[in-house]
Chains A and B, each alone.
Chain A
């Protein structure tokens, strides 16, 4: 290895690149550790720019010990994702303080690559990918700069180009490894606990007494690609968890003990019309539920459909996955067991007396009329839609229906369902998402967390389970703010406020389409899809060893091609100057213009000028630059110009009319 001192420009490149690589880590680290790193980096900057002294050996040892102790103190371990990367970051910053030789600098740059790859443990989005690519370019450029002893600031363009070339050359290899390298099922890194800390718009229960924090997040819940036309907006009810059990304030799904054998399979139902087919890509939400349009008709074999038409996953969704689903928008689900009926009528005996009284007053009416009465009650009394409802007391439904009359979908769904049950109509609360925005660029639909919704289902004699959305009866003028209105009318397309914002919406659509493509084609390339692809290519006939053999053969082919090129071209020279000049000579040789071995470049150019006046100017430029570079004082600018001129030099075969003119 090279024990010489790295060139100053190379050192600055290294420092810049490492700073850029470290910054995301610094943001992630606890403040104490990032402060240490910033101080260490600052010291090195001082060394480079102000001529400060490097720390002595003893001080370095002390700093190393302190760094390791600090990590240990913060994380109580040195292993695992967070502590490991923190330790790496601190040690990388420390390494900068003993950077003396080119060898040290190279090692530090390689550590930079390592730290960079560690960033994948925290995110794998398209943006992370782009950032990593840019940083890899920067680090590769740094390696080029470190190995160019005569470098100066003017060389930056050349370094960047060379670093970029190296990365481009690695592209085929990258593609090959991406496709062929064995995929490990499940996430390779990151515990689900810290990998997916995101919020969803849904929770596994509903509580009215607390102020439920609605997810305002624009995060994507899932994306849907319809095989046919997109259904109407008011039919887009994405069914999620169903709540049966209530204590008057809180709504829960059936507890494990309440789910009998009857719960485990879907009941019979009558479907009308053709099913809607679509592919749903679920964002990892660390939950076991899956969403489908009401009413799910078919699901992949490993997805279970329950008695209340929920889709359940065998494991928590830790990865982004695609599901091929179909749904019937028009259906009649009349089956109901006595057990179900009693569950759907369950109410706490003493809670919400006024609500019960109201329901009792509709005693003489038919079920359908009762539903209409309840909806009219919401419509005709001053009920308001707001995302920030006032707190409710112990008899939460009474308070909401008679006192506050302000709430959002959960309040309306809970109150309506309670009213129905009090009136003797089986009812349950369904949560999920409502609506979806179509991305005009990708042609798919995005459902965001902010579209989370809750509605009611009632069982009517002769009609079966019927969806009732009590929130929908609130007239728009009773929505408190514009943000509320947007949430309230999430079924309606978002109308741009003014023309200037239209491009913004367009940009957002474009970015999401890009992101979706990345998710589908890069991140979604898992072991199953890999296996399928390899099978289709016929590579799996001999198992994984066959795939490995293909990989090896591909490598051998690349190496063979390089070897062949060397063999054909004869001696290869490392000097780019000579190589480029040889290239020019080869082009002339094809025209029968051969330089005699004893002929100097200028003599040769003069001779060619008499033979081929048309190429004389170009060749003269090339020769002058070559001579200046090889024998004179040519520098980086001349080398750049020479490279351009030499690469552009393509003498044509002489045409007969070149003499005539």
Chain B
């Protein structure tokens, strides 16, 4: 399984150039049964990343472009009266796929946003009184444009909590960008990609992640980190218990894709900025430093 996941990382990295860390984080997020929020400028490869991951993992992929006039029914689906049968027939919306790319999620109205977020939380949708389960696995990659915020509805903190991780892609480095410019059309490459995993294998991996060993010593460390967030003067409010669970789950997935069957403190440290970044509010935010700042803040905690 470890080698298969490595192949996925390699295959994705061949198309999304120079972003191996983000690819791994996205994969870990998926294995941890969490949803991913990518916050970045348009055109840095968010859509390509989602598409490549979906293809490599053999998932059914749908993309939803959020706009100001998007309605919940546009996402969830609608029942239409069929004249021949004389019955209402449900037409599932784009949310009925295994991997959803929710592009520019902050452009839609809060009502539409919450429709998607509730689907993410519940793994099911309720339309016109009927509850319909979403496919397994179900994974949402949402993107958000942090700069051009005119006429947008930024997600509130409580909603951000639905995402396991928040990452930024950033500009490619010089060498990666050169390869990108000189290479073939990305879309062609995606089309040539063959699935490396099937849904069953992915689910098995997800189950394995859940069973990964977290020793007492490691739980001590996680608790020390949570405790620190609640005491530290850097933050307005500390991390919630749900954030703690998310941190542990993310660390498990990270250990798993690194081929280990137990979690070490380094796993927690690796995923920490991406899991707590969007759940914490700093007293004095320094947007230029991002994950590095969070790592620095949590380095005040000694590993027990």
Contact = CB atoms under 8 A, between A and B. Distances in A.
Interface of A: 596-603, 627-628, 630-633
A600 B218 contact: no
28 contacts: A597-B301, A597-B302, A598-B269, A598-B298, A598-B299, A598-B302, A598-B303, A599-B303, A600-B264, A600-B269, A600-B303, A601-B264, A601-B265, A602-B264, A603-B269, A627-B264, A628-B262, A630-B215, A631-B217, A631-B262, A631-B264, A631-B265, A632-B213, A632-B260, A632-B262, A632-B264, A633-B213, A633-B261
A631 B301 contact: no
Nearest to A627: B264
Interface in B259-302: 260-266, 269, 298-302
Contacts of A600: 264-266, 269, 303
A590 to B, nearest CB: 21
A627 B218 CA distance: 11
A130 B303 CA distance: 48
Contact of B218 (A597, A598, A628, A631): A631
Contact of B217 (A598, A602, A603, A630): A630
Interface of B: 213, 215, 217-218, 260-266, 269, 298-303
Contacts of B215: 630-632
A633 to B, nearest CB: 6
Contacts of A630: 215, 217
A632 B303 CA distance: 16
B301 A598 contact: yes
A211 to B, nearest CB: 81
Nearest to B299: A598
A600 B260 CA distance: 16
A251 B264 CA distance: 93
A627 B258 CA distance: 15
A632 B267 CA distance: 13
A599 B263 CA distance: 15
A626 to B, nearest CB: 10
B266 A603 contact: yes
Contacts of B300: 598
Nearest to A597: B302
Contacts of A633: 213, 261-262
A145 B302 CA distance: 34
Contacts of A603: 266, 269
Contact of A602 (B218, B266, B298): B266
Contacts of A601: 264-265
A600 B300 CA distance: 13
A367 B217 CA distance: 103
Nearest to A630: B217
A597 B303 contact: yes
A599 B262 CA distance: 18
Contacts of B260: 632
Contacts of B264: 600-602, 627, 631-632
A225 to B, nearest CB: 64
A601 B302 CA distance: 12
B223 to A, nearest CB: 15
A508 B145 CA distance: 95
A601 to B, nearest CB: 8
B6 to A, nearest CB: 19
A628 B298 CA distance: 24
B301 to A, nearest CB: 6
A425 to B, nearest CB: 99
Contacts of B298: 598
B105 to A, nearest CB: 34
B49 to A, nearest CB: 28
**8 A-B pairs with the lowest CB-CB distances in the bound complex, closest first:** A597-B302, A632-B262, A600-B266, A598-B299, A600-B265, A631-B215, A631-B264, A630-B217
Contacts of A602: 264, 266
Contacts of A627: 264
A628 B266 CA distance: 13
A600 to B, nearest CB: 4
A628 B218 CA distance: 12
B269 A631 contact: no
Contacts of B265: 600-601, 631
A630 B261 CA distance: 13
**Which of A599, A628, A631 has the most chain B CB atoms inside 10 A of its CB?**
A631
A600 B298 CA distance: 13
Nearest to A595: B303
B269 to A, nearest CB: 7
Contacts of A631: 213, 215, 217-218, 262-265
A630 B217 CA distance: 7
A597 B304 CA distance: 8
A632 B266 CA distance: 13
A72 to B, nearest CB: 55
**Which of B213, B260, B299, B303 has the most chain A CB atoms inside 10 A of its CB?**
B303
A630 B262 CA distance: 10
A625 to B, nearest CB: 13
Contacts of A598: 269, 298-303
Contacts of A632: 213, 215, 260-262, 264
A72 B138 CA distance: 82
B189 to A, nearest CB: 34
Contacts of B217: 630-631
Nearest to B263: A631
A633 B213 CA distance: 8
B254 to A, nearest CB: 13
A627 B298 CA distance: 21
Contacts of B263: 631
Contacts of B262: 628, 631-633
A450 to B, nearest CB: 70
A628 B255 CA distance: 13
Nearest to B302: A597
Contacts of B299: 596, 598
Given A598-B299, A600-B269, A600-B303, 17 more contacts: A596-B299, A597-B302, A598-B298, A600-B264, A601-B265, A602-B264, A603-B269, A627-B264, A630-B215, A631-B215, A631-B217, A631-B262, A631-B264, A631-B265, A632-B213, A632-B262, A633-B213
A630 to B, nearest CB: 5
A632 B215 CA distance: 7
B220 to A, nearest CB: 10
Nearest to A632: B262
A602 B270 CA distance: 13
A602 B255 CA distance: 13
Contacts of B261: 632-633
A628 B302 CA distance: 19
B292 to A, nearest CB: 14
B1 to A, nearest CB: 18
B114 to A, nearest CB: 38
A422 B269 CA distance: 114
Contacts of B303: 597-600
A602 B301 CA distance: 17
A633 B255 CA distance: 14
A95 B155 CA distance: 72
A600 B263 CA distance: 12
A631 B301 CA distance: 18
A506 to B, nearest CB: 59
A97 B213 CA distance: 40
B100 to A, nearest CB: 35
Nearest to A596: B299
A571 to B, nearest CB: 12
A596 to B, nearest CB: 8
A633 B301 CA distance: 25
Nearest to A634: B262
A265 B303 CA distance: 88
A633 B262 CA distance: 8
B86 to A, nearest CB: 62
Nearest to A602: B266
B194 to A, nearest CB: 35
Contacts of B218: 631
A541 to B, nearest CB: 55
Nearest to A603: B266
B190 to A, nearest CB: 35
